[in-house]
């Protein structure tokens, strides 16, 4: 599925503020509307394990963080507390974990099989890190359709500098393998990592442009607790919002998530800002409250989105929930996207 426009961002686009920024975001919104109308995907995320064998400098779940209480949810917790509480507005479930092959095999695979039996219309996304190719096949056979694998930070030298997972070439190999082997792949990068130069930052867009993706995210760097970058400054929200609008303009058909980390006052306000910059996916968190704080991507006091906050954000932006899952949308998209002439 290809749908590229001729747009490619400049550094000036990423620096826009005031009226010029508003016009840039308006263009992104009207591009989104030309494909998705006023529909936004509502996804639920459940974080099933915080074990991780990687050691990314920007993440609190890195293996060197020995102070973190590690957890794997039990199957009972998942079926009792999580699956039964999925709101009707949710069309997709995103199962996330650190890079934890044991948790993937013992917990995620049976969970997907269970969901496909009990809630067959729910689209399944997984975000589980770089695993053996055989496990990817097993996850797909079980019913997962979308794999989130971010390239985190480009170019390769920066990737290495921030201790991102495996190696750059290995990560790229996995992303390409997934998209060549029947997965719909969403990738993404972090904005505002300390010492990441503007020139390096622009490489993120070139990488995104050259991968076969169905979605791409950008999230602000947030200095994580118990990480080597804990004392650094958070990334600029303006840069993230302009990058989101740029991704929408580059690839009108992509799913671009709004991230709650964009908020200044509360999580739903962050989603409003993301949706106004052209995003078309919002996420409700269903991880059980007793372990949520230990899913320590950044800080313990995370902004947690609920269905009520999501609806508030949609009301404020004149948007409504999608009636179909992302995968169903992609399956239908050859009918839904005829207005973009560069789609092929």
Give the nearest distance from C-beta 163 to ligand SF4 in angstroms.
8
Nearest to 153 by CA among 105, 114, 207: 207
Closer to ligand SF4 by CB, 103 or 165: give it. Answer: 165
Closer to ligand SF4 by CB, 129 or 215: give it. Answer: 129
- Written as six digits, the tokens of 196 are 């990441």
Phi, psi torsion values for 285, nearest 5 degrees:
-95, 125
Give the nearest distance from C-beta 253 to ligand SF4 in angstroms.
27
**How many helices and strands, by DSSP H and E, does the chain display?**
14, 8
Residues interacting with ligand SF4, by CB under 6 A?
52, 54, 56, 59, 61-62, 98-99, 129, 165
Which residue has its beta carbon closest to ligand SF4? 59
Closer to ligand SF4 by CB, 52 or 158: give it. Answer: 52
Closer to ligand SF4 by CB, 139 or 272: give it. Answer: 139
Nearest to 275 by CA among 25, 4, 87: 25
Nearest to 285 by CA among 101, 105, 93: 93
Region of 152 on the Ramachandran plot (φ > 0 left; ψ -120 to 50 alpha; else beta): left
Closer to ligand SF4 by CB, 220 or 321: give it. Answer: 220
The DSSP symbol for 154 reads S
Burial of 343 per CB tally in 10 Å (0-12, 13-18, 19+): middle
Q: State the CB neighbour count (10 A cutoff) for residue 152.
A: 22
d(Cα 122, Cα 143) in Å, to the nearest integer? 10
Give the nearest distance from C-beta 170 to ligand SF4 in angstroms.
12
- Written as six digits, the tokens of 101 are 């092959």
The DSSP symbol for 81 reads I
Beta bridge partners, 219, equal: 190
Give the nearest distance from C-beta 56 to ligand SF4 in angstroms.
3
Closer to ligand SF4 by CB, 62 or 309: give it. Answer: 62
Give the nearest distance from C-beta 116 to ligand SF4 in angstroms.
26
**Start-end of H helices in 54-153:** 75-77, 101-103, 109-118, 133-142
Give the nearest distance from C-beta 72 to ligand SF4 in angstroms.
14
Closer to ligand SF4 by CB, 59 or 277: give it. Answer: 59
Give the nearest distance from C-beta 99 to ligand SF4 in angstroms.
5
């Amino acid at each position: 599925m290809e749908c590229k426009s001729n747009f490619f961002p400049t550094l000036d686009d990423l620096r826009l503020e005031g009226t010029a920024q508003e016009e840039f975001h308006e263009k992104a919104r009207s591009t989104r509307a030309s494909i998705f109308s006023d529909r936004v995907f509502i996804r639920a995320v459940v974080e099933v394990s915080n074990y991780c064998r990687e050691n990314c400098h920007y993440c609190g779940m890195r293996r060197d963080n020995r102070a973190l209480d590690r957890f794997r949810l039990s199957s009972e917790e998942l079926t009792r507390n999580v699956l039964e509480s999925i709101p009707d507005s949710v069309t997709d479930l995103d199962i996330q974990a650190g890079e934890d092959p044991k948790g993937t095999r013992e917990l995620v695979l049976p969970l997907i099989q269970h969901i496909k039996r009990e809630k067959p219309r729910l689209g399944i996304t997984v975000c589980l890190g770089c695993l053996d190719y055989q496990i990817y096949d097993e996850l797909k056979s079980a019913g997962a359709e979308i794999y989130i694998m971010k390239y985190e930070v480009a170019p390769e030298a920066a990737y290495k500098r921030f201790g991102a997972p495996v190696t750059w070439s290995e990560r790229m190999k996995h992303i390409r393998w997934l998209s060549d082997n029947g997965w719909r792949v969403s990738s993404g990068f972090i904005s505002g990592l300390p010492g990441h130069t503007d020139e390096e930052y622009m490489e993120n867009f070139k990488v995104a442009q050259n991968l076969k993706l169905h979605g791409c995210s950008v999230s602000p760097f947030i200095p994580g607790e118990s990480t080597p970058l804990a004392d650094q400054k958070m990334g600029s929200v303006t840069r993230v919002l302009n990058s989101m609008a740029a991704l929408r303009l580059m690839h009108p058909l992509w799913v671009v998530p709004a991230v709650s980390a964009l908020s200044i006052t509360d999580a739903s306000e962050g989603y409003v800002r993301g949706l106004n910059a052209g995003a078309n996916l919002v996420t409700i968190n269903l991880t059980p409250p007793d372990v949520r704080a230990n899913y320590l991507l950044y800080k313990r006091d995370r902004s947690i989105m609920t269905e009520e906050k999501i609806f508030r954000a949609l009301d404020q932006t004149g948007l409504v929930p999608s009636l179909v899952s992302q995968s169903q949308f992609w399956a239908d998209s050859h009918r839904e996207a005829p207005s973009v002439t560069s789609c092929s």
